[in-house]
Every structure is written in C-alpha cells, then in structure tokens.
Amino acid sequence: MNKIIRYITVWGLTLLTVSTITSCSKDDDNSNNSGIAETITNNTNSNLKDIRTATHRLEFPKLKGGHSTVLTHKLSNGEINYSVEWDIEKMSNRWTCYQIYASNAQQTVKRKSQQSVDLYPKDPLWTPNSFFSSDPYYRSGYDHGHLCPSQDRVNSRESNDQTFYLSNMQPQVHGFNAGIWEVMERKMRTYITYTSGSKDTLFICRGGTIDKQDQYTYIKNKFIVPTYFFSAALMKYKVRGQGDWQYKAIAFWFKHENNNGTSLKPYVISIKELEAKTGIDFFCNLPDNIERDVESKTPEQMILTWNIV
C-alpha cells in the first residue's frame, strides 16, 4: 500500500513573528538517494522551516499559501515521487515539482495501460470538495496533460501509476501536449540517464498559468484552462576533475496552442523573466548567491550551456 504524506500549507499569525528563515540542510530527504545531499547556506526567501521537510527540496518554488495545499506523494519505500501545489478554491494545479537522478531514470516498466479501468484517478490526498465530482476532461476536447510526465517515472509500476492522478494534470490541446510540450519533456530527460551517477540531479517545476486573469480561461463550470505553460529546471552537477557542485538553470515559456515545432530555442527565457510572468519564485531554497547567479543568466547563455536546438 502506498505511503503518502499530505502537507497542508498553513499560514497563521504566528508565522509573521519569524525573523530568521533558513533553508534546508540538504536537497533531498530520500535515504536511498545518496551522493547528492549537501549543506545549504541561508536564503532569506526560502520556504518557512517547519514539519514539511519536502518543501525545502531544491525543486520547490516559494509556496503561495492562501487556499493552496501541498500534496507530496511518496512510494512504498519512502522515496518522494513528486509534489503538487493544489489550489482548492480554483480546483487547479499551480505546479508540479520533482527530481530526476540516476536511480529513478532507469526504465523497468511501461506506461500505465490506456485500457486501465480507472486511468485518471482522483488524488487520494484530496480533501472533500477539492475537485469536481466527475472528471471535467471528459468530452472537453482537451488532453489530460501530465506535468510530471509518465515517461519520467518508468522506474517502477507504483511511481508511474501515481503520475496519472488528476492532481498532476492540466488541460492541454492535443497538438500542444503531443507537440512542442513533448519535445521539451524528451529533451529535458536526456540530461539524466541511468549511467549518469549520483553526481547529477535535475530539479524540475512545471505548470500552467492559473493566477493572473489574463493568463487563463474557463470551460465547463469554471474548469480552468491555462493560456500559457512553463517549465523551470535546475541541474546540479560536477565538472570532471573538479570537486565542487555547480548549478545551472533553464526556463521555457509556451503559448498554449497547437504547435508541432521541434526547435525549443524560441521558448527559452531567463528564470527571472519566468518569475515575472508567473509571480512564482523558483528555486528559492538555493543559497542566495547561487539563486541570483542562475536567475541572471540570459536566454542566449542558457541555450549554449544546455545545448538547446
């Protein structure tokens, strides 16, 4: 039986008295993911230190709070599979974040069968009234667009099945979901392979725009359809012959429309620009100096260092 933990964002008046905020002491709390933990210095904008240890992982952006909750799905071995910030009032995913590293990059299973009785189940962590009573994607004309892709979790049956929870979805037109969005997904997973070793970790946060009124529309009784989709990724790596960890980041911003293009260059933007567009503070758990560095890189620099074509 899956072991799953629900982290609810709680914003009380007592939190306003916190004057010193520290980030996590390591970027992963999975005991089986050795070799990628490190000491992180203070970041004055990191997620508040509390019992929600998952929120201090490097893939997490700054939490919005309010009517939102954080849903973190764990596997039966205790490993974190992915996390979601779910807006209960809007009944929509703000983002999904997760990690790719050598041991979860191997393929041992196939994608969940399309013939499954309950292909897109409700998230078992949802509280009552967190989502529509029935699947609003049905006959809507939109695909169930994965944010943590099924293909990024083919290391076990359990991890793959969890990616099909409705909380990990956003409505996407098919020509986008199977087009430029899939091109981006495939490109990003090439950076980490089963032979990469524990030196390399990819921290990913993806979502659709649900907060600014000019960045989404409604269908079928207030079912939100994002006008734009984004992806932010942070790579932790070592240069051969050097002992220090290094970081690089990249961001993509896509108009939600049918797009069968294959070049990702036009969609690369800086992390700083993505934050301005979305209102989300990405990679806030990094040390301040590293966060400033990765945010300052231009699209041209990112295209070069990430070998984007």
Instruction: Output DSSP code: residue 283.
Output: T
Question: What distance in Å separates the CA atoms of residue 163 and residue 82, rounded to the nearest whole number?
Answer: 8
Instruction: Spell out the per-residue pLDDT of the chain, length 309, in tens.
Output: 444 444 443 333 233 223 223 333 334 444 333 222 233 334 556 765 554 568 999 999 999 989 999 999 999 999 999 999 999 999 999 999 999 998 899 888 998 988 777 899 999 999 999 999 999 999 999 999 999 999 999 999 999 999 999 999 999 999 999 999 999 999 999 998 776 665 689 999 999 999 999 999 999 878 999 999 999 999 998 877 777 889 999 999 999 999 999 999 999 999 999 999 999 999 999 999 999 999 999 999 999 999 999
**For the chain, how many structural domains are there in total?**
1
Q: Taking Cα atoms as reference points, which of 243, 238, 235, 240 lies closest to residue 199? A: 238
β-strand partners of 87 = 68, 92
Domain hosting 247: range is 5-305
Q: What is the CATH number of the domain that holds 11?
A: 3.40.570.10
Helix (H) or strand (E) holding 277: helix 271-278
Say if strands 246-255 and 268-269 run parallel, antiparallel, or are unpaired: antiparallel
d(CA 46, CA 58): 10
- How many helices (H) and strands (E) the chain has is answered by 6, 12
